[in-house]
């Protein structure tokens, strides 16, 4: 898994880069000619942890994760995955560097079959170690129902099944870090629980998970750490067990912790 561990540590201000799966420093991003939506985020995430990013609507959570995935260009700062600077890479090259991303909705190709979705997950990703039949077997073992009906159109799957397919596609690229943008969006409460269990299984398979979530209760239940984003800045970072939902109300409405 640690294919990049042997590389010399990059000249950054971050301490020992081999000890974090994901490192973000001074990250700024925004749309078009508008002001910054992500206003200087610093954050380090240890390997095989689950960190949940929460925050009020418009706090820049989704823009933050899109910037990490490379769909929104960073205006300043740097992003490292297992010590390697990926700030300048295209979304696809970031996947090859070990950073997989599951978008919020429309995260599978609805007009393609399950088998085609799984095939496309790695077909055009070049130069990623550990991608192949072995990884495919491991991923399908995590989500057994996907292997059963390869010819079903992804658009005909239920919300929960679609989410599992999206996770599976991301995991086929053998990522170090998995970014999930609101995995519970549009799902019924029961399916939200199943989805969160799937996230835990993914972490147990050795993947570091960063998720953005509106559903605070569901996200707190599985996270190791919680990061609260308000107006594009980190306003709190704490162990998930130490955070009570009641405390969050104050934070969400802009008071400092």
Starting at the edge strand that comes first in sequence, how are the strands of the sheet with 36-45 ordered?
36-45, 22-30, 74-81, 84-85
Of 2, 12, 90, 188, the residue at the interface with other proteins (CB under 8 A) is 90
Residue 249: C-alpha distances to residues 103, 184, 214, 231 (Å) = 27, 20, 13, 15
> Of 8 and 127, which CB lies nearer to other proteins in the complex structure?
127
Residues 106-145 that bind other proteins (CB under 8 A): 106-112, 116, 119-121, 123-126
Contact status: 96 vs other proteins (CB under 8 A): yes
Residue 73 makes contact with other proteins by CB under 8 A: no
Site for other proteins in 157-196 (CB under 8 A): 169
Q: Does 153 bind other proteins (CB under 8 A)?
A: yes
Tell me if 104 contacts other proteins by CB under 8 A: no
Task: Select from 52, 53, 80, 101 the one that contacts other proteins (CB under 8 A).
Answer: 101
Q: Does 200 bind other proteins (CB under 8 A)?
A: no
| Site of interaction with other proteins (CB under 8 A) | 69, 71, 90-92, 95-96, 101, 103, 106-112, 116, 119-121, 123-126, 153, 155-156, 169
């Amino acid at each position: 898994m640690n294919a990049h561990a042997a590389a010399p540590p990059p000249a950054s201000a971050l301490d020992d880069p081999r000890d974090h799966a994901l490192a973000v420093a001074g990250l700024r991003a925004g749309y078009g000619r508008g002001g910054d939506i992500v206003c200087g985020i610093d954050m380090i995430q240890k390997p095989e942890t689950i960190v949940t990013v929460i925050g009020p609507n418009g706090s820049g959570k989704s823009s933050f994760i899109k910037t990490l995935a490379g769909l929104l260009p960073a205006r300043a700062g740097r992003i490292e995955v297992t010590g390697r600077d990926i700030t300048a890479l295209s979304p696809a090259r970031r996947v090859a560097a070990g950073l997989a991303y599951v978008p919020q909705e429309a995260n599978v190709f609805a007009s393609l079959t399950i088998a085609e979705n799984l095939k496309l997950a790695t077909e055009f990703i070049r130069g990623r170690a550990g991608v192949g039949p072995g990884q495919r077997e491991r991923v399908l073992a995590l989500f057994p129902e996907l292997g059963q009906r390869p010819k079903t159109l992804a658009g005909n799957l239920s919300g929960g099944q679609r989410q599992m397919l999206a996770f599976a596609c991301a995991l086929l690229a053998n990522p170090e870090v998995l970014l999930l943008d609101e995995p519970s969006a549009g799902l019924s409460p029961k399916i939200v629980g199943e989805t969160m269990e799937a996230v835990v299984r993914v972490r147990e398979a050795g993947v570091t998970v960063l998720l953005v979530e509106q559903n605070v209760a569901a996200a707190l239940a599985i996270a190791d750490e919680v990061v609260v984003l308000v107006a594009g800045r980190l306003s709190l970072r704490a162990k998930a067990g130490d955070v009570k939902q009641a405390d969050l109300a104050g934070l969400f409405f802009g008071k400092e912790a």
